[in-house]
Amino acid sequence: MTIGELNQLAYLQKAIEMESERLRALRESVDVKSPVITDMPKAPGAKDKLGETVPKIVDQEAEILASLQKFTALKERAEQFINRTPNPRMKMILVMRFMDQKQWQEIADIIGGKETEYSVKQACYRYVEGRDSSPIPGQLSMFEAE
């Protein structure tokens, strides 16, 4: 996984929310009324609002479904990546940032200690990019005296 892929989770979730809002607005715009039957001719330029809006609704529903499928697949991959993380501190950071969508400062506050927004973010980026060489807490390094 990359940081870009992990960040996509938030963007896809926001896109789904926006698409769902557009769908709701489209459905509300179709104000179905009982037809008024008169023998008067229709005015020129009269439109079939329902006939124009239904295809838009169908397209919007298809967009939402496609986005949901992408989101679900990406979320499953992210969960697998996070679950394979051996370091509990890093696992906690990854879950809070990419699953719970917390801000870096919130994460630093929750972890506590001397953690700062910058230190948490850098540790996360180093880990995801494969540059993290810090040992798991409680695990002896081959360079440490036993």
pLDDT tens digits along 78-131: 999 999 999 999 999 999 999 999 999 999 999 988 899 999 999 999 999 886
Asked whether residue 75 falls in the same domain as residue 122, the answer is: no
Report the alpha-carbon distance of residue 106 to residue 85 in Å, rounded.
Answer: 21
Segment 68-83 mean pLDDT: 94
Residue 120 is part of which domain span?
87-132
List, in order, residues 6 or more apart from 116 with CB less than 8 Å away. 108
In angstroms, rounded to a whole number, what is the distance separating the alpha carbons of residues 23 and 54?
11
Residue with tokens 């940032």: 97
Output the pTM of the full model.
Answer: 0.70
Task: Please check whether residue 137 lies inside any domain of the structure.
Answer: no
* Pair 78, 6: CB distance under 8 Å: yes
Residues 58 and 116 in one domain: no
Q: Is residue 76 part of a domain?
A: yes
107, two tokens: 């994460």
Domain assignment present for residue 144? The answer is no
Same domain, 10 and 66: yes
* 42 inside domain: no
pLDDT for position 143: 38
Residue 10 lies in a domain: yes
Both 106 and 61 in one domain: the answer is: no
Say whether both 18 and 63 belong to one domain.
yes
Q: Which residues, at least 6 apart from 68, have a Cβ–Cβ distance to it below 8 Å?
A: 16
Q: Same domain, yes or no, for 103 and 127? A: yes
Residue at 95 is within a domain: yes
**Structural domain total, the chain:** 2
- The pLDDT of residue 51: 72
Rounded CA separation 116/108 (Å): 5
